[in-house]
Structures are given as C-alpha cells and as structure tokens.
C-alpha cells in the first residue's frame, strides 16, 4: 500500500471513530420542553412580517385554523 493511501485510510478511520464516539454521546431530547406541542393552543401574538406589517394570530387564522411551523436555523 502506498504511503498516500495509508494516510488516507488512517484519516478515514479516525473520522469514522470520531463520529461513532459523538453518536454515543448524544442525549435524548425531551420534545415536550421545546415549545408548543402538536394540537396545543398558542397564546395570542403580534409579529412583524418581512414587509414590516404587524400580523396577529387572529389575522392569520383561517376558517379551518392555522398551522404554525417553527424552523430552527443555525444562523440565529
């Protein structure tokens, strides 16, 4: 085996071992503590949209209700 291939193989094995250790260290997340749950009622709110217009819960609610989707972003 060439020295370059040997270095590549050792590097790949080190990355795989690191990923395995990281996966074992993950903790269980309690979803119930993250925010409103599916089907839960949320309190009234007023938020500003991308155009600077204030939007309330009531103004967004349609005849069949409203689905709120919360996205977590890495750049918040």
pLDDT tens digits, 1-13: 677 777 777 777 7
pLDDT tens digits, 21-73: 665 566 777 877 777 788 888 888 898 989 999 999 999 999 998 888 777 76
* Per-residue pLDDT, 36: 76
* Per-residue pLDDT, 22: 60
Catalogue the E-assigned strands of the chain.
46-48, 54-56
In whole angstroms, what is the distance from residue 63 CA to residue 43 CA?
Answer: 18
* pLDDT over threshold 60, residue 76: no
* Per-residue pLDDT, 20: 67
In whole angstroms, what is the distance from residue 60 CA to residue 54 CA?
Answer: 11
Residues in contact with 43: Cβ distance below 8 Å, sequence separation at least 6, in sequence order: 57
Opening angle at CA 55, ends 52 and 61, nearest 5: 150
């Amino acid at each position: 085996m060439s020295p370059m291939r040997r270095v590549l193989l050792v590097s790949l094995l080190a990355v795989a071992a690191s990923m395995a250790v990281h996966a074992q260290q993950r903790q269980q997340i309690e979803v119930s503590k993250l925010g409103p749950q599916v089907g839960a009622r949320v309190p009234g709110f007023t938020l500003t949209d991308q155009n600077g217009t204030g939007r309330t819960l009531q103004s967004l609610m349609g005849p069949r209700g409203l689905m709120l989707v919360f996205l977590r972003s890495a750049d918040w």
